[in-house]
Structure 1
Amino acid sequence: MSRRTLVAGLAMATTITGLAVPGAAAEQAAVKFPSSKFPLGTRSVTTKTMTSVASGIDLYDVRAGSSTDGYTVTVLMPNGRDAGTREAAEATLAAVEATGEVASMQRLVRPQVADAAEQELFMVRVGLWSFKQRAKADATAKRLKKAGLKIKVDYLGDDGLKTTGPWHAQVLTIDARAFRGSYGASLGTSVAKRETLSSMARRDGAIAAVNGGFFNIHTAKELRGEPVGASVVAGRLLSEAVPGRSAIVLRGRTARITELRTTITAISQDGAKHPIAGVNRAAVPGELVLYTEEYGAKTPAADGADVVIDANGRVEAVRAPGAAVPKGKRVLHGAGEAAMWLNEHLWQGWTVKIDTKVRDLRKGRNLQLTPDLHVVAGGVGLVRNGRTQITARRDGHDSLNMILRRHPRTLAGTTRDGSLILATIDGRRPGVTVGANFIEAAQFMRWLGATQAINLDGGGSTAMVVKNKVVNQPSDGRERAVGDALLVLPR
Structure 2
Amino acid sequence: MRALGWARAGRTALALFTALTAPAGAALTGAAPAGAVDRASPLAPAVSAPAVPVAPGVVYEQYDLQAAQGPAHAHVLRVDLAEPRVTLGLLYPGAVAARDTVSRMAAARGAVAGVNGDFFNITEAQHPGVQATGASVGPAVADGRTLKAAVPNGQRFGPALPPGTSTEDVVGVGRDRRARLERLTFEGSLRTPEARLPLGGLNQYALPVGSIGAFTESWGSVSRARATCGTDTDRAAPCSADTYEVTVRDGQVVATADTPGGGPIAGGTTVLVGREAGAQQLRKFSLGERVRIRHRLRTTVSPGPLRFAVGGYPVLRDGRPLPGLEDRTAAVRTAVGIAGGGQRLLLLTLDGAPEYRTGLTVAELAATLAHLGAAQGFNLDGGGSSALVARDPGSGAVTALNHPSGGAERAVPNGIGVFTTG
Q: TM-score range by the shorter chain?
A: 0.7 to 0.9
TM-score (norm 1): 0.64
2:140 aligned with 1:231, yes or no? yes
Aligned match of 2:252:
315
Between 437-446 and 266-275, report the one with greater CA deviation: 266-275
Query: Which of structures 1 and 2 has the bigger CA Rg?
Result: 1
- Give the letter aligned to residue 171 of structure 2: I
Aligned residues: 357
For 2:58, the equivalent position in structure 1 comes to 57
Which residue does 1:443 correspond to in 2? 367
In the other structure, the counterpart of 2:182 is 258
Of 388, 393, 407, the residue aligned with 1:464 is: 388
Residue 51 of structure 1 deviates from its aligned partner by 0.8
Structure 2 distance, partners of 1:280, 1:25, is 40
* Cα RMSD (Å): 3.5
Q: Which residue of 1 aligns with 2:340?
A: 416
1:25 Cα deviation (Å)? 12
Q: Secondary structure at the match of 2:190?
A: strand
Q: Tell me which residue corresponds to 2:314.
A: 381
> Aligned residue for 1:330?
270
Secondary structure class of the residue paired with 2:381: coil
CA contact (8 A) 1:382 1:442 kept: yes
Q: Partner amino acid for 2:315?
A: L
Q: Structure 1 residues 325, 342: closer, same or farther in 2, change over 3 A?
A: farther
- C-alpha displacement at 1:490, in angstroms? 2.3
TM-score by length of 2: 0.74
Secondary structure of the 1:442 match is helix
Instruction: Tell me whether 321-330 or 288-297 shows the greater mean CA deviation.
Output: 321-330
Q: CA deviation at 1:295?
A: 1.7
Distance 1:48 1:484 in 2: 29
Q: Specify the alignment match of 2:121 in structure 1.
A: 216
Residue 168 and residue 39 in structure 1: after superposition, are their counterparts in 2 closer, same or farther (change >3 A)?
Answer: farther
Q: 1:270 Cα shift? A: 3.6
| Other-structure match for 2:157 | none
Spell out the pairing of 1:33-432 with structure 2 (5 A cutoff).
Answer: 41=42, 43=44, 45-65=46-66, 162-163=68-69, 165-219=70-124, 222-234=131-143, 235-240=145-150, 242=152, 244-245=165-166, 246-251=169-174, 253-277=177-201, 279-283=203-207, 286-296=210-220, 297-300=222-225, 304-310=243-249, 314-320=251-257, 321-328=260-267, 329-345=269-285, 347-356=287-296, 358-363=297-302, 365=303, 368=305, 373-378=307-312, 380-390=313-323, 392=325, 403-418=327-342, 419-427=344-352, 429-430=354-355, 432=356
Matched residue type, 2:111: A
Percent of residue pairs identical: 27
Unpaired segments ≥5 residues, structure 2: 4-17, 32-37, 154-164, 227-240, 392-397
SS at match of 2:173: strand
Contact (CA 8 Å) 2:24, 2:49: kept in 1 or not? Answer: no
SS at match of 1:469: strand
**Distance between the aligned counterparts of 2:210 and 2:316, measured in 1?**
38
Point out which structure has higher relative CO (alpha carbons under 8 A, 6+ apart): 2
Distance 1:385 1:283 in 2: 33
